[in-house]
């Protein structure tokens, strides 16, 4: 089976357990690490494990066993099939490692529903360099 077909199959398996923000990253032109990364998010530790389990079972049915499996923390499970590497992240852990930015040159294909990212809690700066929140507060405090 071609690695691109395998990556799509892995992505589809993750969706069966309601993984979200599923992306297949094509690394063939930028790195010898693997041909593809499949990255997805889950809402809970139980869901992280369920996604990893369904992928492992589905791949085993196709005769593919993981070359390496990393489950040191239930917040992040890695299944390495040599040409395709699956990363299942807990929703809070994914943003910390930010693999999409690290491998930003890769062609990315999204699968399933891509959930909206939560609004940033950053406060925008004004020209004077003070935040809007600070300016509103200082206006109210002024006589």
Q: Which domains does the chain have, with CATH numbers?
A: 3-141 (3.30.460.10)
First to last CA, the chain: 74
Q: Which residues pair with 86 in a beta bridge?
A: 38, 79
Q: What is the pLDDT along the chain (143 residues), one digit of tens a residue?
A: 689 999 999 999 999 999 999 999 999 999 888 999 999 999 999 999 999 999 999 999 998 889 999 887 789 999 999 999 999 999 989 988 888 888 878 888 998 866 544 333 333 333 444 434 433 444 444 44
Neighbours of 55 (CB within 10 A): 27
Model pLDDT, residue 79: 95
Q: Are 50 and 4 in contact (CB under 8 A)?
A: no
């Amino acid at each position: 089976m071609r690695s691109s077909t395998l990556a799509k199959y892995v992505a589809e398996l993750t969706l069966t357990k309601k993984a979200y923000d599923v992306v297949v990253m094509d690394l063939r032109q930028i790195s010898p690490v693997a041909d593809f990364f499949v990255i997805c998010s889950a809402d809970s530790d139980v869901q992280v494990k369920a996604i990893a389990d369904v992928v492992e079972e589905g791949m085993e049915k196709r005769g593919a066993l993981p070359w390496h499996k990393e489950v040191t923390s239930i917040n992040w499970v890695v299944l390495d099939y040599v040409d395709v590497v699956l990363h299942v992240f807990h929703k809070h852990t994914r943003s910390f490692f930010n693999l999409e930015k690290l491998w930003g040159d890769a062609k990315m294909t999204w699968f399933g529903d891509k959930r909206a990212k939560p609004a940033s809690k950053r406060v925008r700066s004004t020209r004077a360099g003070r935040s809007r929140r600070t300016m509103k507060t200082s206006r109210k405090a002024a006589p």
